[in-house]
Every structure is written in C-alpha cells, then in structure tokens.
Amino acid sequence: MIGFYHYIILSAFLFAIGLVGILRRKNLLMLFFSTEILLNAANVGFVAVSKFYMDLGGQIFALFIIAIAASEVAVGLGLLTLWYKRTGSINLDSLNSMKG
C-alpha cells in the first residue's frame, strides 16, 4: 500500500530534479521544463497532504497552480519564440545583449 510518506518522498525527489535543472541548465526551454517539474512537485505534495487530512484545500490549491503553470507556459513560450527569432539562440548567455 502506498502511504503518505511515499508521496512526500516523490514530491521531494521531483523538487530536487527541478531545482538541479534550474541551477544547471543554460537553455531557456529546459529552464521552463524544470520550472514545470518544480510546480508539479508542489502539486503532488499538496494533494498528498489534502488526502491525508481529508480536506479539499490542497487539491483546490493544486488546481490553481495548474492554471498558473498553463499561463506561464503560454507566455513563456511566446517570449521564447520571439527571442529565438531575434537572436537565433535560446541559450541564457545570449541574454547579455539585453543589458543597457
């Protein structure tokens, strides 16, 4: 039987993967993917705690996070496409040209 701690360990593992992805990547697309993994890790944790305490608050909060993540992807990918058209690269090092 899968218990509460299994979900929390999964959430911590996903959070660690997302954090390492944010800290180590130079590609903006992979940075967006790592952010999504972080948000999904938080969702797993909220839903697990919600199930453990028999309260719907965590699940409702997870739905709000999913909505925010969807809007973040839409805006982020639009900006990423525009940046790629302008510079021909999606590396973080190419963002230095934005300095004034």
Domain range list for the chain? 4-88
Q: Token pair for residue 28? A: 């903006």
Q: How much helix, strand and coil, in percent to the nearest 5, is found in the chain? A: 85, 0, 15
Residue 45 CB neighbours (<10 A): 19
Q: Residue 6's Cα: distance from chain center in Å?
A: 21
Beta bridge partners of 27: 91
Each residue of 56-91: pLDDT tens digit? 999 999 999 999 999 998 998 998 898 889 888 888
Closest-CA residue to 16 (of 47, 48, 45, 41)? 41
Q: What is the pTM of this model?
A: 0.85
CATH of domain 4-88: 1.10.287.3510
Tell me: pLDDT of 55 over 90. Answer: yes
pLDDT for residue 90: 84
